Amino acid sequence: MSQKQWIAGINAVAAAIEHDADNVREVLIEAGGKNPRLTEIEGSARRFGIDVRRVNQQALSGVAGSLRHQGVVARYEAAKTWDENELEDLVTAAEGRALLLILDGVQDPHNLGACLRSAAAAGVTAVIFPKDKAVQVNATVRKTSAGAADSVAVIPVTNLARTMRDLQKLGVWLYGLAGEAKGSLYNVDLRGNVGLVLGGEGDGLRRLTRENCDQLVNIPMPGADGGAGVESLNVSVAAGVTLFEAVRQRVTG
């Protein structure tokens, strides 16, 4: 399938959702369409987090053009996929100011989407996460990211520890974010080539990831010390705080 196109007809749309839901951006279904398969398509699209709209026959025909739509069309748009081999070029092109967000095992698509949104707003060089045991970019992530999933360089990597070591060889300093770390985020220099490494919702940073960081820092939480019963921030909140501390330093320094 080409990068960007409309798909029309019950079988074609159902197959696109079944086999390539991540790239189906929107489904339009004829309002009042009687065929029960239209309802099935609506249900499966919604399950994958794809936007579904009921529209009138005229609107549907306008989009489908000469294609036979049978009451349903889908907008298909394959995002650019980034390969880990492109990372070195991205870091080099940043000329000593690379800002990388590294997520170690985020599971919740809403959290990943929110991280990508903040990362895009902060102007990151790339967002990196493992291909395994972590949520990947899907329709829910894309929706939560408000378009950032397609505008930021999102790089799933096979072996996160190896990628971290490769980044260090390129001169990237890796800060691991951990609530129990001794040093504060606000006392470190985030202006150069920097990787900000955050852990997943349940387990935080994995042992090897933690060991591969150059330095661990915390985000001070006065409320936790005051007995508020909160032990950590949500990962997307922590990512936002950390990224925008880097932005603050880069803008003012």
Instruction: List the structure tokens of 230.
Output: 């909160």
Of 71 and 240, the one with the shorter C-beta distance to ligand SAM is 240
Of the listed pieces 125-133, 134-142, 151-159, 177-185, which binds ligand SAM according to CB under 6 A?
177-185
- Taking the CB of residue 11, how many other CB atoms lie within 10 A of it? 11
Q: Which of 77, 150, 201, 214 binds ligand SAM (CB under 6 A)?
A: 201
How many Cα atoms are found within 13 Å in the side-chain-facing hemisphere of 66? Answer: 0
Size of the site for ligand SAM (CB under 6 A): 16
Instruction: Determine whether the annotation assigns residue 9 to a binding site.
Output: no
Cα separation, 154 vs 148, whole angstroms: 9
Kind and range of the H or E run holding 103 = strand 99-104
Tell whether residue 204 is a contact of ligand SAM (CB under 6 A): yes
Residue partners of 78: CB distance under 8 A and separation at least 6: 1, 2, 3, 4, 23
Q: Are 157 and 164 in contact (CB under 8 A)?
A: no
From 8-16, 60-68, 144-152, 218-226, span contacting ligand SAM (CB under 6 A): 218-226
- Tokens 């990151």, located at residue: 124
**Interface with ligand SAM includes 177 (CB under 6 A)?**
yes
Among 219, 240, 243, 245, binds ligand SAM (CB under 6 A): 219
Q: What does the alpha-carbon distance between residue 61 and residue 13 come to, in Å, rounded to a whole number?
A: 15
Contact between 238 and ligand SAM by CB under 6 A: the answer reads yes
Q: Is 221 in the site for ligand SAM (CB under 6 A)?
A: yes
Considering the complex, state which of residue 73 and residue 177 has its C-beta at the smaller distance from ligand SAM. 177
Work out which of 73, 99, 178, 246 binds ligand SAM, going by CB under 6 A.
178
The answer to whether 102 is a known ligand-binding residue is: no
Q: Is 233 annotated as a binding residue?
A: yes
